[in-house]
Chain A
Amino acid sequence: MFTLKRTAIFAALGLVACVTPPQQQSATRAPALGVPMSADELAAWDISIPPSGAGLPAGGGTARQGQTVYDQKCAACHGLKGVGNPADALAGGKGTLDSKTPLRTVGSYWPYATTLFDYVRRAMPITNPLSLTNDEVYAVSAYVLYLNGIVAEDAPINAQTLPLAKMPNRDGFIDDWRPRAAR
């Protein structure tokens, strides 16, 4: 009785007509304040490199060149030849993943070499990120791959060759983003 009466009052006031689903509200009532960006502007922001290598910049380097960069800018945290301490080990550990003490490194664990370039460029060295040239990033990536026996010491690593590096644990991952209840 009360509910009926209240509905009638709301209808009389025209309030019922104002109730629209929340999704429609967000679609129709947002202020649209985004500023358009050109491809040139976006190039400076888009630093992500997928496994295909799309977006890798020009330039290149070899492991031999990369060792110089590594010893100066990486070894203090990652150890000479990527043995680790205090930061993560970058080399070794192949064949340990199913043991009681697995060692997960770029060589034993990482599925894509492109991720190495992406991460070094965006975040390393930890105290001075975005400071390496693209050639240095290629070269130091080549060196870490070389330490893991993935590329030769003088192999040119660049936008064409990096995505082709054959990572030992490429097929070691199972995609499972279903809700847990559905597993």
Chain B
Amino acid sequence: MSKERKVGRREFLKQGSMLLTGAAASSALAPGAAAQNLAGEPWERVYGAAFTLYGERSRFEHPVVRRIVKRYGDFAPGSGVALSPIESLEGIITPSSLHNVRSHSGTPDIDPKRHQLVLHGLVARPMRFSVDALLRYPMVTRIHFLECSGNSGRALAPQPTQAPAGFLHGNMACSEWTGIPVRTLLEEAGVLPQAKWLLAEGADSAHMSRSIPLEKILDDALIALYQNGERLRPEQGYPVRLLLPGWEGNMNVKWLRRLKLLEEPMYTKDETSKYTDLLPDGRALQFTFEMGVKSVITKPSSTMTLPRAGLYEISGLAWSGAGRIRRVEVSTDGGVTWRDAALTGEERLKAFVRFRLPWEWKGDEARLQSRATDEKGQVQPARSDWLAQYSPANTFHNNSIVTWSVGADGSVKHVYA
């Protein structure tokens, strides 16, 4: 039986090669025939590539990559950030492979068969869940942005850095997340009345941990298992992460291994010595969880060049940790006049909104800005107003208006205004 099969396969291949030979032969018999005059690039004249098990983008798109900033150099290469190239992306969903990454001690290689999520503290029934168990719970799917609270800290250098928008503002991304409302698991464990906070802890080698008000957990927190339809990527917390829509990226604890109900915050290293916002008088704001209303023009943006005068589309992203985006205005004259941009996705809470505005560039100098307003009426602040609130050393929660200048030569530069 098996021998017959092998022969059959060999026969098939032989027939195939005969067919190919035949095709070459017939073409050789008709030099200058009409077929040769038909339009057709080289790839239209050869059989295409075979199927692949896991898809890959075009080789021509390979230059579109994240930019990596290692906080401590090669000594700790997984501590730092990978910044999303927002200037090369469109729409509102960030491809998982180009999602920003902020990790404190690298990406752990977690075996989902061994990983456990422990739920304890002020609960009636402390318990643990295997990943297989979690996968059996009823799930919800939502689109939400994630933004590191240090995003746009690179736009606070004494002089404006001439770098692509993604390097300055790409410590953020937006995905479709699927998982279990945290409250489902809390109901199972039975939260005691005195519980007011919840500590979330990761299974990375930093055991990253943050305290979260229970109010937020009961509102919209998710135990996320899927991102953009597939299981979480390791860099995004595989096999399970916490998702706190609209709140500081680092609080969305990746590689989630433990949830502890508490009466008061734990005052962990990452909610005291880091992720606190220094004020001019030397005091610091603590627990500034929500990400402010913000927008950035991605196209055209810093380091790009407009080849010639004519019609362009100004396109960018807007988001707010407080809810929906209600309005995005765009200025091409440095904030003197503003026009409303068209929005895509504005019906969603705490998600990227794509804004667009057609712009006729006449070849003069221009200053492009965008200004977002959310459903709570919060307006993205001017850079000077934002700076006045904080110590010059504070790099967290910069949601101020971004300015790109366009020169008469079409070059787009990062400027402070």
Contact = CB atoms under 8 A, between A and B. Distances in A.
Nearest to B283: A172
A26 B187 contact: yes
Contact of A175 (B79, B133, B273, B287): B287
Contacts of A109: 272-273, 284
Given A34-B188, A172-B283, A48 B269 contact: no
Given A34-B189, A179-B322, A86 B72 contact: yes
B222 to A, nearest CB: 12
Given A123-B105, A173-B284, A176-B288, A32 B183 contact: no
A32 B120 contact: no
A115 interface: yes
A161 to B, nearest CB: 18
A113 B72 CA distance: 25
Specify which of B119, B258, B268, B293 lies most central, judged by the most chain A CB atoms within 10 Å of its CB: B268
Interface string B50-69: 00000000000000000000
A35 B127 contact: yes
B105 A50 contact: no
Specify which of B185, B207, B321 lies most central, judged by the most chain A CB atoms within 10 Å of its CB: B207
A35 B133 CA distance: 10
B73 interface: yes
A179 B128 CA distance: 32
Interface in A49-93: 49-51, 77, 86-87
Interface string A149-183: 00000000000000000000000111111011100
The secondary-structure label for the interface of chain B is: loop
B107 to A, nearest CB: 14
The secondary-structure label for the interface of chain A is: loop
Measured as residues with beta carbon below 8 angstroms from the partner, the interface class of chain A is 35 or more
Interface stretch (B16-24, B84-92, B198-206, B351-359): B198-206
Given A33-B137, A173-B276, A181-B376, A122 B184 contact: no
Interface of B: 72-73, 75-76, 79, 104-105, 118-120, 125-130, 133-134, 136-138, 181, 183-185, 187-189, 199, 201, 205-207, 209, 213, 257-258, 260, 262, 264, 266-269, 272-273, 276, 278-290, 292-293, 321-322, 376-378, 391-393
Interface of A: 23, 25-27, 29-37, 42, 45-51, 77, 86-87, 97-102, 104, 106, 109-112, 114-115, 118-119, 122-123, 126-127, 129-130, 172-177, 179-181
19 contacts: A25-B138, A26-B187, A33-B130, A34-B119, A34-B127, A34-B188, A37-B127, A45-B258, A50-B262, A102-B278, A102-B391, A109-B272, A115-B273, A122-B209, A123-B105, A126-B205, A173-B285, A174-B279, A180-B376
